[in-house]
Amino acid sequence: MNRRDCRTGSGGLFFCRNRKFKSKKWQLSVFLLTFAYYKPIFTKVEKAMPINCIGILTSGGDAPGMNAAIRAVTRSAIFSGIQVKGIYRGYRGLLTNEIVEFKTQNVSNIIQMGGTILKTARCTEFRTEEGRKQAYENMRAAGIDALVVIGGDGSLTGARIFANEFNIPIIGLPGTIDNDLYGTDTTIGYDTALNTIMECVDKIRDTATSHERLFFIEVMGRDAGFLALNGAIAAGAEAAIIPEISTEVDQLEQLINNGFRKSKNSSIVLVAESPVTGGAMALAERVKNEYPQYEVRVSILGHLQRGGSPTAHDRILASRMGAAAIDALLEDQRNVMIGVANDEIVYVPFTKAIKKDKPINRELLDTLRRLSI
């Protein structure tokens, strides 16, 4: 018996051998009494019942592991007797009615694939009230009672607004390589991107050492430095320039000087793409002007960070989160993002998750400084 059956089943309630207790009047009295005493239980089951069909979409920037999440949501829903509809191209698909019923076979053989089989898009119409109204009407016409949205902070911001406007149950899954959503230790795709960065920096190190060069390597992360900082530690880089620490630029000059004066053959600095850091190009220009003796090179890793087969960590994370999204809906949770904190599933209200104040671990920064002498 699956979880849904357990919740709604009333097996044996009216089964009784005594003739007196078999009468309709008697049964009705028992029912009413039971209802009076256990009203909260009945109320909860009533609330959870209307979710017969969910829609699932991926939105915003793609991230490795999104497919594993789609698979987990689809299979967990079907396991619990809930119908699934795949919505193509994020919120745009709701507006253009790109909605297809998903069976278990639709998500076969995708756990190892990067990208998203549902495609993703950015949709400006969804930012308007009229756009969202149309999306709601299409969603209801397709028989969808609740949504699972996989995406970054923009997508979850849209989900929060949509849910509040139309009182729709929406569960979010953090799908972004940036790791910038609060309340979860990591987001789906972050670990894969981090490993990609590490492998790329290892390769650049070979050529940097051979030519005794100073490399600035720009990595993604939008306004967050998780990829740059952790990538720097994993690849043994000399420094990370991250938006959370704006004074780092000046410390960098000192560090490069020391590094080159000592026995270092090469120096590698990871720079988070952000208006705060100025990006790798601008930093390299500045260092070239101030230290003409150094051979400076720039490498911008770009979109290759988004691709590739997800790591075991991301596949497991996405699978756990996808299954938890269905649990959350069955538990009558609404408007929360699924997180994993200290290895436990947590429900994070959208408002908290998207606040953009996920702190960087300062201990890692200190470790990087000490290990790069």
Residues that bind ligand ADP (CB under 6 A): 59-61, 91, 122-123, 126-127, 151-155, 157-158, 161, 176
Length of the chain as a residue count: 373
Q: Could you count the other beta carbons within 10 Å of the beta carbon of residue 291? A: 14
As beta bridge partners, residue 338 has 347
If the CB atoms of residues 132 and 205 are measured against ligand ADP, the closer one turns out to be: 132
Q: What are phi and psi of 128, to 5 degrees?
A: -105, 155
If the CB atoms of residues 60 and 279 are measured against ligand ADP, the closer one turns out to be: 60
If the CB atoms of residues 165 and 253 are measured against ligand ADP, the closer one turns out to be: 165
> Is residue 178 among the annotated active site residues?
yes
How far is Cα 336 from Cα 345, in angstroms, rounded to an integer? 12
Classify residue 252 as exposed, middle or buried by CB count within 10 Å of its CB (0-12, 13-18, 19+).
buried
Which entry of 62, 145, 153, 178 is annotated as an active-site residue? Answer: 178
In the complex, the smallest distance separating the C-beta of residue 159 from ligand ADP, rounded to whole angstroms, is 8
In the complex, the smallest distance separating the C-beta of residue 337 from ligand ADP, rounded to whole angstroms, is 12
In the complex, the smallest distance separating the C-beta of residue 178 from ligand ADP, rounded to whole angstroms, is 8
If the CB atoms of residues 159 and 301 are measured against ligand ADP, the closer one turns out to be: 159
Q: Report the 3 state secondary structure along the chain.
A: CCHHHHHHCCCCCCCCCCCHHHCHHHHHHHHHHHHHHCHHHHHHHHHHCCCCEEEEEECCCCCCCHHHHHHHHHHHHHHCCCEEEEECCHHHHHHHCCEEEECHHHHCCCCCCCCCCCCCCCCCHHHCHHHHHHHHHHHHHCCCCEEEEEECHHHHHHHHHHHHHHCCCEEEEEECCCCCCCCCCCCECHHHHHHHHHHHHHHHHHHHHHHCCEEEEEECCCCCCHHHHHHHHHHCCCEEECCCCCCHHHHHHHHHHHHHHCCCCCEEEEEECCCCCCHHHHHHHHHHHHCCCCCEEEEECHHHHHCCCCCHHHHHHHHHHHHHHHHHHHCCCCCEEEEEECCEEEEEEHHHHCCCCCCCCHHHHHHHHHHCC
If the CB atoms of residues 61 and 64 are measured against ligand ADP, the closer one turns out to be: 61
If the CB atoms of residues 237 and 337 are measured against ligand ADP, the closer one turns out to be: 337
If the CB atoms of residues 91 and 182 are measured against ligand ADP, the closer one turns out to be: 91
Number of residue whose CB is nearest ligand ADP? 154
Q: Which residues are catalytic?
A: 178
